[in-house]
Structure 1
Amino acid sequence: MKLRTRALSSAIIAVLASHAYAAEDAPADDPAASKDKTQLLGEIQVTATKRETPLQKTAVAISAIDGGTLDKERVVNVVDITKLVPGLAATTQGDHGVVTLTMRGIGNDSAKTEYADPEVALFVDGVYAPRAEAAASLLLDLDSIEVLRGPQGTLWGRNSTVGAVNFQTAKPDLGKTYGYGQMEVGDYGHVGLRAAINVPLSDTFAFRVALGQEQHDGYVDYQSPNGQLPSVDSQRAAYLASGGLPENFRAIDPNIYVTSGDKYSSQDQSGVRVSTLWTPTATLSWNLSLEYFRDRGTPLANLMQHPRDGQDFWSILADTPAKLERDAYALRSRVDWDISEAMSLSYIAGFSKFDGSSDFDQDGGVQVPTSFATGSTFQDDRTNYERFRSNSHELDLKSSGDNTVDWILGLYYASEDNSIRFDIPIFNGTPQGTVAWQGSFIQPKETVESTAGFAQATWHINDRLRLTGGARYTHDEKENRGGRGWGWAYDANVPQIPIAPGTIPGPGTGFGLGVGGINDGKYDANKTTWLLRLEGDLSDTTFVYGSVSTGYKSGGLQDGGVPYKGETLTNYEVGVKMTFLDHRLTWNNALYYEDFKDFQLSAPITFIDGSRGLGFSNVAGSTKVVGFESEIAAQLGEADRLNLVLSLLPKKELGTLRYAGSNDYGGLPPCAPESGIGNCLDVSGNELAHAPDASLTLIYEHVFTFANGSTLAPRFSGHAETSSWLSPFNLGEGDKQKAYFRGDFSMRYTPADARWWAGLYVSNFTDEKVRTNAGRTALGNGQFIYTSQYLPPRTIGVNFGFDF
């Protein structure tokens, strides 16, 4: 097991040691000791409407996941919550190490660049996270996660086209000093550490410190080139047969292959958050938090769906070492002021800084070279640097208390200042070979500004019937200043070596690169989104609603400075929420119809002149989705807990897009000249990606209570899906995730005083290989090799925690 000594680990141990005995006499009902107790289901509160309301009386399709569930389900990152939410899926892209979300069949696999936007917006304590790599990577000390499904444009703003995810961090408490610590150890060298402490310094001021570290070795082994490379005589013959000159021949150097060091698909993430609460008066409170996130793991690997004979599935013939470095800071502030009994004001602000770099073996070693310059392709996708700076400000004025009309008014402003350099050397055979193409995409300054105003009001027609209307006006500006795409100019007089991170492209520099794209440009657009909803109480236990709402995601500039249009969504939805058995059983359902206009698809493409870039296409006509969601949560007596999560997507059909291209899918046919793309397919009417016809999650826990008051709680969690496409190309079995079942099991022992617990877990006990994306390499003659990235294999471990 590979352990890395960390200052963070020492800090966790020091914090726990200094406070382990401070709360020995704390009563059993303190916040730490009782955090595992389950709230009655019908009494869960949510903040989906920017005010606290009961989940069962909130007219939004929303999944509320409390801290106890997050703990027991071992939720570490955003991927771990997908099975808990109907219609939510996570996709991965290795070259940037970014997770993107798909909800209700809609998502954007390539929303990973300088200002490409997602359809599912992520928020932390109500602050929008435009570059979500840090916010979604290590979920630390959370009170709850609220997942709002359907357009949330009126109250939640930009890019919440099909939904929003709000992570609610644990806030400081003025009551007493308490905290917790957790440790987890498992296979693949897994070590996880979590701790938090809450300290009130006075009746008006408290602070909370939370620390976390998660690490495991990579799941993907490096293959040895020994026994795979052809003999020198065979290499020479292959090289000469390709037209190579005898005097230029060289034998393949086996040292170009990576056989040691950090493996692909590893984790090494740390985080710390310091939060404060100040309540100078009974009507004024200020929550402030500063968070740091550090990532030194590695990207997920592109694995061959069907490995070569004699090779393990979880392995790669790599010629590019895995690298991922990220550092992120976030400052979040919320001030709440009760102006009077009838009115309150909130100011929510956020500032973030993100820096990163990465190196990724894009070719995945799917072909063994026949010579140093033939038989395979070397491709290194390298982010030399990425620097994102953002800030946002929101001012909400809303009614308080009981009113005939509840209302909220808001103003919003957000800005980003981003830069990135992304290099792609592509060589024939090996990096010792000849250039197939290589380029450098340098964007020194890309800015985003978004300004909005919104209003929403709910009229209580009578005690049981309410009508809500709302609207939001948004103005978006995006600008690229000085962005250039440098591409190989095929100059035979220039040494053919892979572009190095220190290479500065430019005319006359001798690197063989010319300007392939001038990306300067500006995008400027306005949009109004709106909501109309009728809701009512059929009885004290049955709540129904019907709504029509719109969502919007802004357009922007693709490589070459060419603008693409914003996309819009109209969502029609009816829902019913029912509560039974004295608030111990809830059953919530939603039926919806989505109508998209100008839906955006993006992918890396080759233009007709041979230059490359990231291209965006707007799907013409209507992209339509019809779906049904159902959630059942039950407390069956004192010992049993049951959750069912169901999603059905009988219809998820793209509109019209004749020219869809992607360099991740080799062998697409030549495209019509008017398309401007070298290779493409007509995907009109195809099914959307990551949208299975049906998915079901079942979670069951039984608590055995012994005579001495201690408990043993086994917990089963299973997720099943029908097959789904991995791209809009719908290219066959290699471009599909087959139907599967993936199961988790855990067991936890807690003594009578509930001061500590110990457990064990098996994640993915079925050892299912679940693909999250796909790509292919063309071999000619209609033959292809498909690669994918995968969810983790089966893992096992033990864990321990205590409260104080």
Structure 2
Amino acid sequence: MSSHASGFRKFLGSPVQLAVVTLLAGASSVYAQSQAPEAAAKAADSKELPTVIVTATKSATSLQRTPVAVTAINATSLEDNRVNSLLDVFNLVPSLQGTGQGDHGIVSVTLRGIGNDSAKTEYADPEVSLFVDGVFSPRPEGASTLMFDLDGVEVMRGPQGTLWGRNSTVGTINLKTAKPKLNDQSGYVEAGIGTYSRMGMRGALNMPVSDTLAFRVAFVHEQHDGYVDFQKGPNLSVASQQAAYIANGGTLATFKPMNTNLFVQDGPKYNAQDQSAVRVSMLWKPTAAFSWDLSVEQFRDRGTPSMNLMQTPRAGESQWSALIEVAPTLVRDSTNVRSHMEYDLGDMILAYTAGMGRFKGSSTFDAQGGMVVPTYFDDPNARYQNNNTVWSKYNSQSHEVTLASSGRKTLDWILGAYYAAEDNGIRFDIPIMNGTQEGSVAWQGSFIQPKETVETKAVFGQATFNVSDALHLTGGVRFTTDRRENVGGGSWTWQYDATVPQTPLNANFDPKTQPGYAQGDHNSAVYTNDKTTYLARVGYDLSKDAMVYGSVSTGYKSGGTGDGGHPYGPETLTNYEAGLKTKLMGGRMTFNTSVYYMDFKDFQFSSAITNPDGTRGFAYDNAEGAKVSGAEVEVATLVGNNGRLQLAASFTKTKLGHLVGKTNDYILPVCFSDKTTNCMDVTGHELPHAPKFALQLQYEHNFDLESGATLTPRASAHYQTDTWLSVFNLGDGDKQKAYATLDLGLRYAAKKNWYVDGFVRNVTDQLIKTSAGSGGQNRTVDTAIWTAQYQAPRTVQVNAGYSF
């Protein structure tokens, strides 16, 4: 029986089961199409594009009248594009890119050429802030990883720190979950299958309790087998192994044959998915003036990490295969509580938004992936390396109080205060053995950070002076103080003591008390800083259907301390932006465009490094700065009576300021200033994940059938020019070449509330790199073995659903 059959049984016994049972129990209720807003139906009758409402300015405004570069994706578009995770959003938004981080199973985000691939543990923060229902999510878990039952997604480009706060350096993503509705009993359920043994199920049930109270239960489960096949272990004669061992200084007395059982041949494969989530939401509205939205969400992940694959496979081996010596595991569990209270005081609205999150996890990851096949058990040219997150945890909380004017007045304003805190911890082991697990120690160490706290306080305000019906002047300011503290952390590394058995470091013992290890870095340190950021913007309505705007805004990301307690400074930028938004053809077309220039100071660069004394750690550097400029275009238009075309395009130019970079992910030249380590002067290089040009085209067409049903084919094409995968710009191995992809979908919606759809992603089965490395010890720049992580291969899925 497959591993995912077992996984599906676990799903049925999980908290999601409660949601399924509750949902099916209400299936006799009256019909309501929860995923189709009334605005869409009205637009279909009027032959105009629907009005899109966004909350980018912390108030509900029309997208076309909001002077911010924002992309709004509604629930219908999310469903049409089969958006199951954050990775599926990236092709829908100009200048937005994403990468999967294998050893932690995390997605990192890049916007307008700026991101942080290291924002996957407690060490690093992202430049693009992620919010769920207005609550900051320090780590991409739960609803952000497995997107389900959403009203929509808003992606705001450019610094959003004045209103949105923490880490909104270059943009903000806000996921809006579907809220309970009063006096409306409705819901939906969907199930599907697909390639790689894919099985999925999702649904929601809206349950009114009284005229003032309603609940909503939503659930999702998605799973598929891994994409990466296991290569067979080396089949070498004992004689050839002996000869290689003796030739490299070994003796017959210490020789032992390779144990081929150490190479994984079955079980869960890398790049597998097995995720479940359930959310229970409440809406209480005892009076016309007061409302309270409350939700509790549980997320469970038992998939596997994404694998580093050889860019040039060995002869006879598939691209999607690897020689595996570390079985993949991934355990992530998180609980999130989100609350929003709002009281209408008449001319003002008082709101309180709060959130609490708890996370724990662990993982194992084969960092070498058999790049070199060992010729004997202790071959120094081949390595066993297990990147093992023994445990990881974080607790977070946030609180925001705002007081804002209501309605349109001469002066529209908002004032607020914000507090957030985190308590993080991790133990991360890296055992590296020569040849195989039974070889001698090449290097190994444990990084243990039992407590790292983050505390942020801020006050902010923003006001818009409506000088006339056409002219609008906006100013905003935010004052932030940050405090970060590492308590009792450090690294414990192998001391090459010949009297201690050379076995791989593992979770069953504590290196702090184990013979053969000594403490290297001491991480206890405190960092504090404060910063004032601002926004100045002018908007002018050219007509009732067109507006222009221009703004100057600043962004900020806190500094901190890295391994060894070494401090690094904050990152700041100034963003200059101008935009145009207009409706054309009587409302049948919208055309939105923006141009921008970002000037960074002390741009943060982080990576895992090897120090001159042989110890390893995670280090931060502040580059002199960076310059980023670009333009973005979004167009939506109705085609005839039943067609809709959407276009999104971006143009991006990046240039890094002075920085000498170090990393363990690439083989670099010997430093010109320090002959004991490796580095590269990357001054003037282009930033990673920033194609100069990217284009997304989507088209769908509704065919009305005589039975009253509809048939809707959809096509989505993406093209982008080549892009670097790191700041080192190291040639073809460190680059994703220009590519184009195509997704196709077909949906049959019956007259009576049920539908069937099929979807093919990456139709042409393109091999698309999202990250790269040239790892491996005892090799040179000229003989580096290049690896990469890739977007998923071609996948096919079929789903059937019913709304009631």
TM-score interval w.r.t. the shorter chain? over 0.9
Pairing 1:188-337 to 2, within 5 Å after superposition? 188-225=196-233, 228-337=234-343
Q: Which residue of 1 aligns with 2:635?
A: 632
CA distance in 1, matches of 2:164, 2:349: 18
1:573 matched residue in structure 2: 577
Name the counterpart of 1:144.
Answer: 152
Distance 1:173 1:141 in 2: 14
- TM-superposition CA deviations, 1:349-405 (whole Å, max 9, x none): 000000000000001111100111113011100000001000000000011123111
Deviation at 1:535, TM superposition (A): 0.4
Note closer, same or farther for the CA distance 1:253–1:671 as it changes in structure 2 (3 Å cut).
farther
Give, in whole Å, the separation in 1 of the partners of 2:49 and 2:370: 51
Partner of 2:599: 595
Partner Cα distance (2:253, 2:448) in 1: 37
Paired residues of 1:229 and 1:370 also in contact (CA < 8 A): no
Structure 2 unmatched runs, 5+: none
Aligned to 1:84: 92
Q: Which moved more, 1:579-588 or 1:443-452?
A: 579-588
| 2:114 matched residue in structure 1 | 106
- 1:96 counterpart SS class: coil
| Distance (Å, rounded) in 1 between the aligned partners of 2:726 and 2:42 | 40
How far apart, in 1, do the equivalents of 2:536 and 2:39 lie? 38
Which amino acid in 2 is paired with 1:91? T
Checking the alignment, whether the CA contact within 8 Å between 1:262 and 1:298 is kept in structure 2 is: yes
**Conserved 8 A contact 2:36-2:75:** no
Quick one: which amino acid aligns to residue 127 of structure 2?
A: E
1:664 paired residue number? 665
Match of 1:159 among 152, 162, 167: 167
Give 1:34-73 correspondences, 5 Å limit. Answer: 37=41, 41=49, 43-73=51-81
Q: CA deviation at 1:761?
A: 1.4
In the other structure, the counterpart of 1:748 is 747
User: What RMSD, in angstroms, separates the aligned Cα atoms of the two structures?
Assistant: 1.6
Give the letter aligned to residue 365 of structure 1: G
For normalisation by structure 1, the TM-score amounts to: 0.96
CA contact (8 A) 1:126 1:166 kept: yes
What are the superposed Cα offsets for residues 21-67 of structure 1, whole Å, 9 maximum, x if unpaired?
222xx4x7777696974855462110000000110010110000000
- Equivalent residue letter for 1:232: V
Which secondary structure does the structure 1 equivalent of 2:784 belong to?
Answer: strand
**Change in CA separation of 1:776 and 1:446 when aligned onto 2, cut-off 3 Å:** same
Q: Is the 8 A contact 2:668 2:680 kept in 1?
A: no
The number of residues matched between the two structures is 790
- Residues 604-635 of structure 1 show CA distances to partners (whole Å, capped at 9, x for unaligned) of 10011111011111101x30011010001112
Does 2:477 match 1:468?
A: no
Instruction: Output the amino acid matched with 1:321.
Output: A
Give the aligned residue type for 1:581: M
Show the counterpart of 1:22: 29
Deviation at 1:746, TM superposition (A): 0.7
Q: Which residue of 2 aligns with 1:517?
A: 521
d(CA) in 2 for partners of 1:402, 1:156: 21
Moved more, 344-353 or 483-492: 483-492
Match of residue 645 from structure 1: 648
Residue 490 (structure 1) shift: 1.6
Contact 2:595 2:630 in 1 (8 A): yes
Secondary structure of 1:362's counterpart equals coil
Structure 1 window deviating more from structure 2 (229-238 vs 116-125): it is 229-238
Tell me, in whole angstroms, the C-alpha distance in 1 between the residues paired with 2:132 and 2:401: 16
Alpha-carbon distance between aligned partners in 1 of 2:640 and 2:74, rounded to the nearest angstrom: 20
How far did 1:92 drift? 1.8
What amino acid is the match of 1:382?
A: N
Change over 3 Å in CA distance of 1:694–1:746 after alignment to 2 = same
Residue 448 (structure 2) pairs with residue 451 (structure 1): no
User: Match of 2:658, as an amino acid?
Assistant: T
Inter-partner Cα distance in structure 2 for 1:135 and 1:439: 34
Structure 2 residue corresponding to 1:418, chosen from 424, 442, 455: 424
Mapped pair 1:538 → 2:536: no
For residue 732 of structure 1, what is the aligned residue in structure 2?
731
1:528 aligns with 2:526: no
Match of 1:371 in 2: 376
CA contact (8 A) 2:170 2:555 kept: yes
Structure 1 unaligned blocks of 5 or more: none
Determine if the alignment matches structure 1 residue 695 to structure 2 residue 655: no
Q: Which whole-Å CA distance do the structure 1 matches of 2:77 and 2:153 have between them?
A: 10
* Structure 2 residue 553 is the aligned partner of structure 1 residue 549: yes
Identity between Structure 1 and Structure 2 (%): 51
CA distance in 1, matches of 2:201, 2:650: 34
Q: CA 1:781 to 1:596, structure 2 compared with 1: closer, same or farther past 3 Å?
A: closer
- Give the whole-Å Cα distance in 1 for the aligned partners of 2:641 and 2:74: 18
Per-residue CA distance 1:199-246 (angstroms, 9 max, x = gap): 111110000000100000001111111xx3432212111111221233
- One-letter amino acid matched to 2:693: A
Q: C-alpha displacement at 1:431, in angstroms? A: 1.1
Does the aligned pair in 1 maintain the 2:691–2:723 contact within 8 Å? yes
CA distance in 2, matches of 1:307, 1:548: 49
Alignment of 1:754-793 (within 5 A): 755-778=753-776, 779-780=779-780, 782-793=782-793
> Could you say which residue in structure 1 is the equivalent of 2:182?
174
Task: Say if 2:682 is the partner of 1:683.
Answer: yes
Paired residue type of 2:697: L
**Deviation sequence 1:262-297 (CA, Å, 0-9, x none):** 100000000000000001111000000000000000
SS in structure 2 at match of 1:560: helix
For residues 299 and 527 of structure 2, the distance between their equivalents in structure 1, rounded to whole angstroms, comes to: 32
Specify the code of the residue in structure 1 equivalent to 2:696: T
Q: Is the 8 A contact 1:32 1:179 kept in 2?
A: no
> Which SS does the other structure have where 1:328 is aligned?
strand
Judged with a 3 Å threshold, the aligned counterparts in structure 2 of structure 1 residues 41 and 486 are, in CA distance, closer, same or farther, namely: farther
Distance across 1 between alignment mates of 2:34 and 2:394: 41
The alpha-carbon distance between structure 1 residues 120 and 46, as it changes in their structure 2 partners (threshold 3 A), is same
Cα distance, 1:642 vs structure 2: 0.8
Residues 323, 370 of structure 2: 8 Å contact kept? yes
